[in-house]
Copies of this chain bind each other. A is one copy, B any other.
Amino acid sequence: MHDPEWRRYGALIIGGKLLGVAVLLSLMFILPALYNAGTSVLGGHAAYAQESMPAMPGMAAATAPAAVAATQPVMPSDLTDTGKNPLINPLNTVWTLVAAFLVFGMQAGFTMLEAGFCRSRETVNVLVECVFDTCLCGILYWAWGYAFMFGAGNGFIGWHDPAGSASWFFLGGGAAAALYNTSGIPVLAHWIFQFAFADCASTICSGSMIGRTGFWGDILYSVGVSGFIYPIVGHWAWGPDGFLALMGSDGHFLASLGMNFHDFAGSTVVHTIGGTIALAGALVLGPRIGRKFKRDGGGPMTPHDLTIAVIGGFILWFGWYGFHPGSSLSAMDFVGIGRISANTTLAACAGGLVAEFMVYFRTKKWDPGAITNGFLAGLVAITCPCYWVSPAGAVALGAVSGVVVILGTDLLEFLRIDDPIGAVPVHMMNGIWGTLSLGLFASGEYAAAGSSNVGVPVIGKDVPALTGLFYGGGMQVLNAQIIGNLTITIATFMAAFTVFKVLDLAGILRISRQGEIEGMDLHEHGISAYPEYQILSSALPGGLPPDGGYIPVEDKSKSKVHV
């Protein structure tokens, strides 16, 4: 912001920002309209929200009426009727809140992963960016993001309490005391759980843009991502009347399909969206100065702290146990949350092993990055199907994710796209794979209804079980998954690319060449992450003198270290 461009592009920035938002909003409204052929009603609440919840696995199977024999045994009414058992809502809220805290804890993991895998010269930027985006996302999600995403409205965007007409902007008045949809969870507990999800999506996109994004650029695109793209597109799949959530039911989008889009914990909503924005960002930005790709005789830039990076991966895995089981928003289906937890573990293990062996057989080295991105890929892939697959299915689809992440990394390298931490192969590509994998691996044992995060417990629905191609269910589920994911991927990419392009044209997306050579941390933040350590000359940013250079404040004028 010190460069002359700042003055020159001053007006353009404001104009560009407004234009970006306008284009974005237009796209958001136009795109889904293209799908509306088969949809007579986009408004209205999900029909299933009024259904009763009679079924549950692992309990009282003998009392299941014959009519639902193909689905799941009946859940005792003491687990569904809060009048009979008023502890249901407190217990479910405890479960959701603990899960929310774990998902929030993933921010520590993301920050460690990104900081460790980047170069030391851009580490402070990663740190400040992760914290800033979290703070920004919280305020935006309170102001309007949550209303856009989980409020009722139409199939495209929401704004009010599904149980009435009260606005959910700023969550004032009654909103703060209401329960979310039919979940029995307080709106504010659901809010913090979903805020933590939104924050993950926001952090994911930053991963591919490390090392060359100007901080004002980061702020402005983050407003676009956290304030508009994520909540609006997310509404389509998880909103109470989102057109993908209602897809296939009578009177809604693609009624002839007879199947709605399922995304239990967000392979599409969180990971594909986040990873697709990451791809758009990396494309518009271009690679960091000095980054040469494999076919040009180079390779990825080396990370600066693998200890921090790998431990960050473990902390992410830890937090993921809030992400998946917590997406049930309920502990009543206690067999289900156990299954989700085990499936999550197994997919991660399989992804890590497969990715590691793939790289080992190529290079004869046991690569720390491959196994870390491998288990993360498994975690991303199982995010969508975690409730509906068997443990063996989780192992199988997790193993595939390990292949996807390595081949995806190769592809980006071939395409000369600089993605410093692998956000695109981990989150976008495995988000897509995981979403589609439900269409293959859904085991035919667990109820089809609901998409979890929408606030309708998947269990206890008097509906047939979800069955994938490999379990004799044909193409129906797979088709719904393809349509849902493709819609969201394309829409997200177009919206994000537009936002980035506008910011780029305004000259504020990428840091100046001079600033990048000086070093992002010194240029944007006035300090290096490790002012006392001697950095090897080959890694030394231009802004530091060759003898390293922590100059104590007392002697020299303090942040002008690089002068």
Tell me if A251 is interfacial: C-beta within 8 Å of chain B: no
| Candidate in A85, A301, A332 with the most chain B CB atoms within 10 angstroms | A301
A378 to chain B, nearest CB (A): 9
Closest 9 CB pairs of A and B: A189-B338, A138-B349, A290-B561, A186-B338, A365-B526, A542-B562, A532-B539, A93-B334, A188-B342
Query: Are B90 and A91 in contact (CB-based, < 8 A)?
Result: yes
A174 to chain B, nearest CB (A): 10
Given contacts A132-B352, A391-B171, contact A89 B142 (CB under 8 A): no
Given contacts A132-B353, A299-B555, A391-B170, contact A533 B531 (CB under 8 A): no
Tell me if A400 is interfacial: C-beta within 8 Å of chain B: no
Chain A, 337-358, CB within 8 A of any chain B CB:
337-339, 341-342, 345-346, 348-350, 352-353, 356
Taken together as a complex, chains A and B put the C-alpha atoms of A112 and B339 apart, in Å, by: 29
Taken together as a complex, chains A and B put the C-alpha atoms of A292 and B90 apart, in Å, by: 54
Taken together as a complex, chains A and B put the C-alpha atoms of A334 and B186 apart, in Å, by: 7
Taken together as a complex, chains A and B put the C-alpha atoms of A553 and B298 apart, in Å, by: 6
Query: Are B79 and A90 in contact (CB-based, < 8 A)?
Result: yes
Binding site secondary structure of chain A: helix
Binds B, one of A118-126, A417-425, A492-500, A502-510: A118-126
Q: Kindly identify which residue among B139, B191, B527 contacts A342, using a CB–CB cutoff of 8 Å.
A: B191
Closest B residue to A516 by CB, please name it: B561
A562 to chain B, nearest CB (A): 4
A511 to chain B, nearest CB (A): 12
Given contacts A104-B317, A338-B185, A366-B524, contact A131 B554 (CB under 8 A): no
Tell me if A294 is interfacial: C-beta within 8 Å of chain B: yes
Tell me if A315 is interfacial: C-beta within 8 Å of chain B: yes
Taken together as a complex, chains A and B put the C-alpha atoms of A170 and B391 apart, in Å, by: 8
Query: Are A136 and B102 in contact (CB-based, < 8 A)?
Result: no
Copies of this subunit: 3
Query: Are B315 and A108 in contact (CB-based, < 8 A)?
Result: yes
A335 contacts which chain B residues (CB < 8 A)?
A: 177, 179, 186, 188
| Candidate in A94, A215, A548, A561 with the most chain B CB atoms within 10 angstroms | A561
Binds B, one of A37-45, A227-235, A302-310: A302-310
Tell me if A483 is interfacial: C-beta within 8 Å of chain B: no
Q: Kindly identify which residue among B124, B303, B349 contacts A134, using a CB–CB cutoff of 8 Å.
A: B349
Question: 30 A-B contacts, Cβ less than 8 Å apart?
Answer: A2-B364, A79-B87, A79-B90, A90-B332, A93-B338, A97-B325, A101-B102, A104-B321, A107-B317, A135-B353, A135-B371, A135-B375, A138-B345, A139-B395, A192-B338, A192-B342, A215-B366, A290-B554, A290-B559, A302-B550, A305-B530, A365-B527, A366-B524, A366-B525, A517-B562, A532-B538, A533-B534, A538-B552, A539-B550, A541-B561
Tell me if A187 is interfacial: C-beta within 8 Å of chain B: yes
Query: Are B90 and A341 in contact (CB-based, < 8 A)?
Result: no
Tell me if A474 is interfacial: C-beta within 8 Å of chain B: no
A561 contacts which chain B residues (CB < 8 A)?
A: 288-290, 517, 541-542
Query: Are A318 and B108 in contact (CB-based, < 8 A)?
Result: yes
A338 contacts which chain B residues (CB < 8 A)?
A: 93, 97, 185-192
A130 contacts which chain B residues (CB < 8 A)?
A: 310, 314
Taken together as a complex, chains A and B put the C-alpha atoms of A186 and B341 apart, in Å, by: 11
Tell me if A412 is interfacial: C-beta within 8 Å of chain B: no
Tell me if A472 is interfacial: C-beta within 8 Å of chain B: no
Given contacts A301-B553, A534-B535, contact A314 B131 (CB under 8 A): yes
